[in-house]
Amino acid sequence: NGNIGKEEKDKRPDQNQPSKFDTIKSLKKSPEDAALRQEIENTDNYSLGVGNTEAATGISSFLFFPPIKGTVTSRYNTNAKHYGIDIVGKPNEAIKATLDGTVLLANFTSETGWTIGIQHGNNLFSLYKHNSALLKKVGDYVKAGDPIAIIGNSGELTTGSHLHFELWYNGMAVNPTEYIAF
């Protein structure tokens, strides 16, 4: 480059000479840098939580698999003794386990038709009613997302093909729509 004077050429490092990193003077850490480094070093490297992981306890700390994707046609309503939600899906669609667990209930009743219930860890229980068929039996261990039943219209307390889904935590019914996107 013809515009660079001799003095400026002398200030540039020679591209053919190795860099001398041992001559770099140590940099001083700012108090802010030291505090940030300490915070990073003290965090749990394997945590998937955001912020304070101690706050992520209880039912909110679980990642639920939706048993079916569809339209919620009847909402959770304890006053009407409707302890779950009704979801309309595609005909013959597989109903899936919402979490890992063990099947504790798999039977037919005249009111709720083919029903399956799964006990999960941490006092969680999920119940799936009005199925046309069950794919698992009592004692089977299932993983989240495993097909457990086929959507149906069985039982006297049904008005069409749908899934009635209940979620229970510590022996109390909870609103599934607060924890699962359908």
Give 83-115 pLDDT, tens digit per residue: 999 999 998 999 999 999 999 999 999 999 999
Mean pLDDT of 122-145: 97
Residue 55 has pLDDT above 50, yes or no: no
Contact 98, 181 (CB under 8 A): no
pLDDT beyond 60 at 10: no
The reported pTM is 0.68
Structure tokens at 52: 């304070």
